[in-house]
Structure 1
Amino acid sequence: MITLYNLKQSRSQRIAWLLEALNMPYEVQNFDRDPVSKLAPQALRDIHPLGKSPLIKDGDTVIAESGAITEYLLTRYGNGKLRPAPDSNDYAGYLQWVHYAEGSAMGAFLIQFLGSSESSKPFCNAQFDLHINYIESSLKNKTWFLGDELSGADMMMSFPLQFALTLVPKGQFPNIERFVSQVENHADYRKACERIGELELGKSS
């Protein structure tokens, strides 16, 4: 059975969502953040040196990084679900969104959140605008990122967009807002939250 190591208020919801969507049995081990530093406890670093979440364990194998976990689970256990076939027209787009989520989008959103010096603000603002507008336009007239079908790409993009919406006025990016609402009301996402708790980005702790 898969074990999901969940650091509270992390990126774990999307992996729990994936496990629920694949109808896979899994167990959850929850970890609280340090109340001052907000970092992971030593117990999580004992499982993986980075002390990041999500982590999964499958047998003796521990895997970090949401994108790697997503690809591992879909390759080993997906049976063709939640991703297009490698010879399909959608496969390249699928790969792009899976890796773009943490490779480019989240970086641009984080530097906007963390602030910047006066000299770097123009660059940071421009990068934030570039990425959020690219995503907004990519979702136009689409149910999910690849069209009508949910995929692992949507699961990977869910957390960056939930985060991004805390940084902008409501109503500015309607396609992203619709996507996030769709994510948070998806039946399997709701089951995931029942297992590991709600994500509370933008809410004071």
Structure 2
Amino acid sequence: MIRLHHLNQSRSLRTLWLLEELGVAYEIVSHQRDATTHLAPDSLKAVHPLGKSPVIEMDGQLYAESGAITELLIERFAPKRLRPATDSSDYGTYLQWIHFAESSLMLPLLLELFTKKAGVEDNAFLDGYISAEKHRLLSYLNDEVKDKAFIVGNKLSGADFMLSFDLIMLAKRHALADYPHIEQYALQLASLDSYQRSMRLEVNYDQSIG
């Protein structure tokens, strides 16, 4: 059985949703963010040296990094259903979006979060970079998802799982008013039955709620 080390309000939501969509047997080991720092607890460091989530245990091995876990689980359990064929014209596009979520989009979002938490104000360089880069990336993505239910081949794939964490978070914060196609795409993903099941689990395990 797969064991998911799940941290509340984290990228682990991608993996939780994917496991629900796959319908495979798994168990959740819950880890809670520190109520003051909002950082991951030491319990995750006891699982993996990086001390981050998601981490899965499968076949006696540990795997970290949500992108790698997404690709690994899909290759194992749903290569024909949740990714394009490797010899198809969509496969390269699929890989691009799998990696876009972390390698491009996440940077300005994290910088924005960290500067606010650190109380950094009126830094012309940081403010200018974050605003411009975020707008550039979201504008590009907004054009790409226009009239699409899913990002690649109009079919649910690993790329949607990877993009979901960033985009659904922004949609819930009402931060996508200038990017209506992204908002529609994100809310459509959030309406899927498997995503709804994963969110019910997230709420059940998140001790910071209520």
Fold match (TM-score > 0.5): yes
Kindly report the root-mean-square deviation, in angstroms, between the aligned alpha carbons of the 2 structures: 2.3
Structure 1 residues 173 and 129 mapped into 2: Cα distance closer, same or farther (>3 Å)?
same
Contact 1:84/1:94, CA 8 A, preserved across alignment = yes
Select which of 154, 158, 162 maps to 1:148: 154
Structure 1 residues 204 and 159 mapped into 2: Cα distance closer, same or farther (>3 Å)?
same
CA distance in 1, matches of 2:205, 2:65: 18
How does the TM-score come out when normalised to structure 1?
A: 0.90
Select which of 173, 180, 202 maps to 1:196: 202
Please name the residue that 2:28 is paired with. 28
CA distance in 2, matches of 1:135, 1:48: 33
CA distance in 1, matches of 2:172, 2:195: 20
Structure 1 residues 198 and 181 mapped into 2: Cα distance closer, same or farther (>3 Å)?
farther
Letter in 2 for 1:134: Y
Structure 1: where are the runs of 5+ without partners? none
Please name the residue that 1:83 is paired with. 83
Structure 1 residues 46 and 61 mapped into 2: Cα distance closer, same or farther (>3 Å)?
same
Mapped pair 1:162 → 2:188: no
1:139: how far off?
0.4
Please name the residue that 1:125 is paired with. 131
Letter in 2 for 1:139: V
1:164: how far off?
3.4
Structure 1 residues 193 and 75 mapped into 2: Cα distance closer, same or farther (>3 Å)?
same
Please name the residue that 1:111 is paired with. 111
Letter in 2 for 1:121: D
1:167: how far off?
6.4
Structure 1 residues 170 and 90 mapped into 2: Cα distance closer, same or farther (>3 Å)?
closer
CA distance in 2, matches of 1:69, 1:193: 19
Please name the residue that 1:52 is paired with. 52
Contact 1:6/1:30, CA 8 A, preserved across alignment = yes
Runs of 4+ in structure 1 deviating by more than 6 angstroms, as ranges, are none
Structure 1 residues 133 and 79 mapped into 2: Cα distance closer, same or farther (>3 Å)?
closer
Contact 2:171/2:187, CA 8 A, preserved across alignment = no
Contact 2:148/2:185, CA 8 A, preserved across alignment = no
Structure 2: where are the runs of 5+ without partners? none
Letter in 1 for 2:72: Y
